């Protein structure tokens, strides 16, 4: 039997790539560089941190500017409150008297500021409250009752000297408004010598005789009744509460209270001489500037 073998044709080989044109080089795929994601993350963080740093720097610059302007803002508060008080007083007394009145209060308060700074205590500039005077703030009034008395009496002392200025101008000009201002200056400082805390006289009594706070309360009540001044009720409430609180602390005693109120007899006498002498001079000043208006 004739056998034959049939050979299957071989599969065609893949066609070879055509030759590239002369000078052409096909683009090669760049392998992925390890750590590329990390670099992009760091770049993003750097941008974010840079923006945050710029914001913080701008905030610090504004804070520095605020710290530089803050003292001027305090002065603006002082002068602004002075202007408000002048406006309020002018509704009753006129602009010229109102300006003089506020200046007399300012001189009185600056006596406290100067004394506090002499004691090494930082004090604010005065803030004016219409029809109530002015206030200053500080962390304390001194390390002991004697220092508190010095600070308290400094206001009426400088304020009384300030009241002499309109009196001298009145003697030179004869204009009644200066006499009225001098009278008010003497009255303001004598009123503050009422021996009731937190009035200046009450500060002096801390070193002289704290039991005088009771007499001061009675005296202020008499002034409120005699002059028909309802606004004195505010002073009575504040003064009564402050004096009661201090009296209770002193009565409970303790080393700290004993140290605070320990004043030598010589210093106690010095406070008494200044207090009584100043009060007497202010009474004379009031008498010399008082004008009786008959019916």
Residue 11 has a pLDDT of 47
∠ CA 167-171-176, nearest 5°, is 70
pLDDT (tens digit, 9 = 90+) per residue, 198-224? Answer: 899 999 999 988 888 888 888 888 888
Interval 80-85 mean pLDDT:
89
Quote the CA–CA distance of 219 and 224 in Å, as a whole number. 9
- The answer to whether 157 and 179 have CB atoms below 8 angstroms apart is no
Residue 186 has a pLDDT of 96
- CA-closest candidate to residue 82, choices 137, 138, 132, 126: 126
- Answering whether pTM is above 0.95, one says no
Residue 252 has a pLDDT of 82
Higher per-residue pLDDT: 195 or 69 = 195
Quote the CA–CA distance of 151 and 114 in Å, as a whole number. 8
pLDDT band at 291 (very low <50, low <70, confident <90, very high): confident
Interval 142-171 mean pLDDT:
94
pLDDT band at 79 (very low <50, low <70, confident <90, very high): confident
Residue 272 has a pLDDT of 94
Interval 105-120 mean pLDDT:
93
Two tokens, residue 14: 């893949």
- Lowest average pLDDT, out of 62-66, 209-213, 268-272, 283-287, goes to 62-66
Residue 5 has a pLDDT of 38
Interval 48-73 mean pLDDT:
54
Residue 164 has a pLDDT of 96
Higher per-residue pLDDT: 56 or 171 = 171
Quote the CA–CA distance of 86 and 79 in Å, as a whole number. 10
Quote the CA–CA distance of 232 and 238 in Å, as a whole number. 10
| Mean pLDDT, the chain, integer | 80
């Amino acid at each position: 039997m004739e056998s034959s073998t049939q050979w299957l044709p071989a599969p065609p080989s893949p066609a070879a790539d055509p030759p590239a044109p002369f000078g052409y080089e096909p683009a090669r795929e760049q392998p992925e560089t390890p750590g590329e994601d990390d670099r992009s993350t760091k770049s993003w963080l750097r941008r974010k941190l840079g923006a945050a740093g710029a914001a913080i720097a701008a905030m610090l610059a504004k804070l520095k500017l605020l710290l530089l302007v803050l003292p001027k803002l305090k002065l603006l508060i002082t002068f602004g409150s002075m202007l408000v008080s002048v406006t309020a007083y002018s509704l009753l007394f006129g602009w010229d008297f109102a300006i003089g009145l506020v200046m007399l209060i300012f001189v009185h308060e600056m006596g406290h500021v100067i004394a506090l700074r002499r004691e090494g205590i930082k004090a604010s500039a005065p803030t004016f409250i219409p029809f109530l005077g002015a206030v200053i703030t500080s962390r304390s009034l001194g390390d002991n009752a004697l220092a508190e008395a010095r600070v308290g009496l400094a206001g009426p002392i400088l304020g009384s000297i300030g009241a002499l200025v309109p009196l001298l101008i009145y003697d030179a000009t004869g204009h009644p408004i200066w006499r009225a201002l001098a009278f008010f200056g003497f009255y303001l400082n004598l009123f503050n010598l009422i021996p009731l805390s937190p009035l200046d006289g009450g500060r002096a009594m801390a070193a002289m005789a704290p039991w005088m706070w009771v007499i001061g309360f009675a005296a202020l009540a008499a002034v409120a009744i005699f002059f028909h001044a309802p606004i004195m009720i505010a002073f009575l409430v504040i003064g009564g509460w402050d004096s009661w609180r201090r009296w209770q602390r002193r009565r409970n005693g303790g080393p700290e209270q004993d140290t605070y109120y320990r004043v030598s007899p010589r210093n106690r006498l010095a406070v008494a001489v200044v207090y009584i002498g100043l009060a007497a001079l202010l009474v004379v000043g009031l008498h010399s500037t008082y004008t009786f208006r008959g019916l």
